[in-house]
Every structure is written in C-alpha cells, then in structure tokens.
Structure 1
Amino acid sequence: MDITLARTFLEVSASGSFVLAAQRMHLTQTAVSARIRTLEEQLGRRLFVRNKAGARLTAAGERFVRHATTLIQVWEQARQHVALPAGREEGVSLGAELSLWQPLLADWLVWMHRACPEVALRAEVDSPTRLLDRVHEGSLDLAVLYNPPQRPDLVSELLFEEKLVMVTSASDGTMQPNQYIYVDWGSSFVANHQAAFPELSSPPVSISLGPLALTYLLTVGGSGYFRSGTVQPFLVEGRLRQVANAPEFSWSAYTVYRTRREGHVIERVRQGLHVVAAAQDTSGHGSSLRSPRAKKKPKR
C-alpha cells in the first residue's frame, strides 16, 4: 500500500475535515478525496462519513487508525536506517517550536556533534500540533514543546521549568496599557491572561514570536510578558523592570517521544537535552558548553 495513502488517512482523521487535511498537506481537496477513495477501494471498506461538520470515522476507519500509524512508523524507521550517510551508524530526528531552537536546541546540536559523532542528525521547525502528529506517526523521533497536551502512546518528559513575567521599560516600573505588547505564548497563557487582564483583550500591539516582541519592546518601549530567564540580563542592566504584583505564569518545556521508541540513541538525545538545559540554566542566552566526552556504545 502507498504510504501517502496512510498519511492522508491519518491527516483527515486528526483534523476531522477533508478541507483542513488538504490545507495541512498542501494539496487540493480533490487530491485528498482521491487518495481516500483509493484507500477505501483497496481495503474494501468505507473509512469516513462526510457531513456538514466535516468527516468522521466509520467503525472500519476507527479500526484502521492503529494499523495506519504502525505502517508509517515502520516505514519511517526503515527509511531512516537505510538512508544513513557514510560514517554514521544510527540516525535521530528532532523537531521543535521556532522559539526553542535559539539557543537551547542549537546548543544541543553542538552537544550531539561532540558527544555522538556517529549519529546522523535531522532537525526541523514546525507548529506544536504538527510536531506531536509527526512524533506519533514516527516521522520524528522526538519533539521539544512548551506545555504539550497529553496524547496516548506519547511520553512528555519535563525538560525545564520557567515563568512568564511582566516587564516594562518604564522608569517607575509600571505597566502602561496604551504601550502594552501582547505576546502569544499559547492556549494556556491566553486563558490565564484573559482571566487576569480582561481590560487588555484588545492590545495596541500583538506579536506571536517572543524574541521579536522583546526586540520591539527594547527598541520602542512598552510592557509585556516574557520568559524570566530571557529578560534577566536586561533587568540586571536596568533596561527593563519587572512590574510589581503582576501575576506570573508557568511556562515549561517538555521532550515528547513515543513510549515504544526507546534505545541507546534516544537515551543519549534525552541526556544531551538535559545537559544543555542545565548549562543554560534556562537563561535564554547562548552558553559555553564544554566538549563532552562521548560515552562508548554498550556492547550488544
């Protein structure tokens, strides 16, 4: 069976819509429908029932979810193993949200280069939802995310804990609503922020990327929520001040991987992630990592 059919099936199943699946796969709706129709013909069963709300799985479709997931996982593992470049014994793929790559995961890449030179690396940036989907389907070994939702067959391992704090450029340390910068830190932050600051539901500036928002704040002034480690140097320099009595929100990063995806390489990847997280002390700034000594692979 064509693996693309299984991928398309899982995309429609996850999104509950042929239209959304087509958008996420950068295909036309006609192409998605044709793939599902071909798959249904091969299986001899109808997999989806279409209605005004979208598409829902039939009983046969629900039974096929597990098999489609297994098919893709096995294929990805085989593809990665066969396609290893010369001089590399194993391979690993890791994805993360954009804001986590610099500097945390950039340092992880350096750590892996020094500690595990025999491992081929593939690093990607994607949205949280897509990262979770890809770990589940097997096209990524691990993902690093902020506050990921729980999913069956996926382990969410705490990497570091941090807080989101409100800071301001105002010399008196107060927040001025007309200069407030809203930073989108995800669904949990949205709910907490709305409850704490209903009067800021329509801020003058909204930015979805933390580093961009911080650059804007430092350049033109204002107030907003940022990672405590990231703003600490600016607090020490006196360029920013923490707003007194403003609530603080939890902001933690997790390593997500499949429960069945264990092994020496995955253990080393997890170790490296914890090493670089500890070295940076969640400062949000580049750290000077010492060259780690690569552990010898255990004899099989």
Structure 2
Amino acid sequence: MDIRVFKTFIAVAENKHFGRAAETLYITQAAVSARIKQLEEYYGTQLFIRDKNNLRLTPAGDSLYSHAHLMVSQMEQSKIAVSIADKQRVSFNIAATPNVWDAFFSSRIHEVLELYEHLSLNTEISVREAIQRKLDDRTLDVGLLTDPIKDDDFNNELIGHFDLSLVGSRPDFDAKTEDYILVDWGITFHKEHALHHKVVPSFKTSAAMIALEVILAKGGFAYLPSMLVDELIDQQTLFSVESPLQVNRPIYMVSRKNGANEDVVQQFRLLFNRA
C-alpha cells in the first residue's frame, strides 16, 4: 500500500473536506477520492460518512486514524535512517528529562556537538518512563536522569551534580504559602520533599524554565537550579529561602549494556569526566 494513500486519509480526516485535503496535498480532488476509495476497498469497509457538509469518520475510520499516523511517522523515520546510513554517518541518540536538560545538559550541548561533529546527533527531552522504554528497545543510546534505573540490563554512571536553591519572589515562605510551584526533580527529591515540606503546590511542572517564568511573571516559590537564579538573587529580583532539603542533586548517565554504540558512549562518558 502506497504511503501517500495514508497521508491522503489523514488529510481528509483532519480537514473534513475532500477539496481542502486536495489543496493541502497539492493534488486534484479526483486523486483524493481515488485514494480514499482504494483504502476502503483494501480494508473492505467505509471509512467516512459523507453527509452533506458533514464529512466525518466512521468507527472503522476512527480506528484507522491513529494507525495511519504511526505508519506515516515510521516511514518518515525510516527514510531519515536510510539517508543517514547512505551518508555513512553513525546516528547517536541522547535524551534527558526536562529537569536535567534545564539544570545540567543545556549548558554543555556545545561541547557534545563538537565531540560528535562526525556523527548524526539526535537529542530530545522526555520523561523518565519514555527514556527507559527507548533504552530498552535500543532506539536510544544514552539517557540523563537524576535517579538511576535499577535494572541489571542497564549501566548507571554518576557523571555530575547540580545544586538547587529554594527561591521566591519574596523572602517569607511557610506551609501556608499559596503560590508554591513543585518542580519534578526526580524520585529521591520527591521523597525528601514530602518529609520536609507540608506546603500544597498551586502548580506542578517538570521544567525549571517554566517555573522560573511563572515566578517572574506572577510571583511564587520553587526549587530551581542555582545556575539559573544566582544572578537574579544578586539583583534581588528573587530571594533565597533557607531549605531543609539536601539540594545537591546527582546526574546519572544511563545506557543499555552491550549497546551498538558503546565506543561513542565511552567518548560521552569521558567528556563529563574531564569537566
């Protein structure tokens, strides 16, 4: 089945109109109709209900919609992978949780780019569960996390630390504070936070930059990387608040044992050992 048929199906489903789908795809409306007919014949069922001025998916069409997106996405990814292989460049994939990216990795990305200038480097920000899943299915080479993955199939190496500071738009902070922002700094942080703080957060986020922007715009408190807030504290834009928590957080480089790019992972490890 031609992948263009699925792209056409998605365009019709999203535009709810054959003509607008044709304009989006730069093809004729007749071509759109022919491709949808081909798809309906292949699956042996009607995919659209064609009421006047009300084109909508049938239950079968609705079921196909997510699969069509997946097939198109996988095909595009395969084209990229083949293109990379054709140019004889090794692909290396790194993911970090949002908190690690903001507090640690973003300031070092230029060093990584210099180290891997001969590779096709891919970076992403993702949640811990997705990083573990991608490491497990070998679509990811390295994950950067604040907590190790306790599994015999993974290597966990401590490669650095970063400091957190409890800061606010004003110096007074207590359990009655109504504008506290809880930033996700990992499993260990959550356990310590529950022991030492009874304050109820008004907002939760996994990204330090989002928390900082909210505080600067509307006020509030949050645990943020010291590197992000030291200058703001010096300027008295923010205030440092004494904290009962251990605010030095670890960074773990996690990789799958016996991975395909072990030599490149070793170079990555040495980069942070030199820091």
* TM-based fold match above 0.5: yes
> CA deviation digits over 1:19-49, x for unaligned, max 9?
xxxxxxxxx8xx9xxxxxxxxxxxxxxxxxx
Answer yes or no: is the 8 Å Cα contact 2:102–2:209 preserved in 1. Answer: no
Residue 89 to residue 125, structure 1, CA distance change in 2 (3 Å): same
Judge conservation of contact 1:165–1:248 (CA < 8 Å) in 2.
Answer: no
The normalised TM-score by structure 1 is: 0.56
Instruction: Provide closer, same or farther for how the CA distance between residues 95 and 207 of structure 1 changes in structure 2, counting only shifts above 3 A.
Output: closer
Displacement, 1:166?
A: 1.4
Distance 1:154 1:182, change over 3 A: same
Shift of 1:158: 1.3
Establish whether residue 267 from structure 1 lines up as the match of residue 258 from structure 2.
no
CA displacement, residues 133-159 of structure 1 (integer Å, 9 cap, x when unaligned):
211221111111122332212111112
AA at the equivalent of 2:222? G
Given residue 165 of structure 2, which amino acid in structure 1 is its aligned partner? V
Counterpart residue number, 1:254? 252
- The letter for the 2-side match of 1:195 is L
Map 1:6-85 onto structure 2 (within 5 A): 84-85=84-85
Percent identity of paired positions between Structure 1 and Structure 2: 21
Aligned residues: 198
**CA 1:263/1:185 → structure 2, altered by over 3 Å: closer, same or farther?**
closer
TM-score of the superposition, structure 2-length normalised? 0.60
Residue 255 of structure 2: SS of its match in structure 1?
strand
Give the root-mean-square deviation of aligned CA atoms.
3.2
CA contact (8 A) 1:165 1:247 kept: no
- Quote the residue 1:12 is aligned against: none
For 2:225, the aligned partner's letter is R
Deviation at 1:235, TM superposition (A): 1.8
Name the structure 2 match of 1:156.
156
- 2:227 matches 1:229: yes
Structure 2: state its 5+ residue gaps.
Answer: 1-62, 67-78
Superposition deviation, residue 87 in structure 1:
4.4
1:181 aligns with 2:187: no
Unaligned runs of 5+ in 1: 1-27, 32-78, 279-300
Task: Note if contact 2:103-2:227 (Cα within 8 Å) is conserved in structure 1.
Answer: no
Q: Given the alignment of the two structures, is residue 240 of structure 1 paired with residue 242 of structure 2, yes or no? A: no
- Give the residue type in structure 1 aligned to 2:247: F
Equivalent position of 1:92 in the other structure: 92
Q: Deviations over 1:212-232 (max 9, x none)?
A: 111111222222222223222
What amino acid maps onto 1:234 in structure 2? Answer: L
SS of the residue aligned with 2:151? Answer: coil
Distance across 1 between alignment mates of 2:243 and 2:142: 38
Deviations 1:41-80 (A, max 9, x none): xxxxxxxxxxxxxxxxxxxxxxxxxxxxxxxxxxxxxx99
Structure 2: how far apart are the matches of 1:113 and 1:81?
Answer: 19
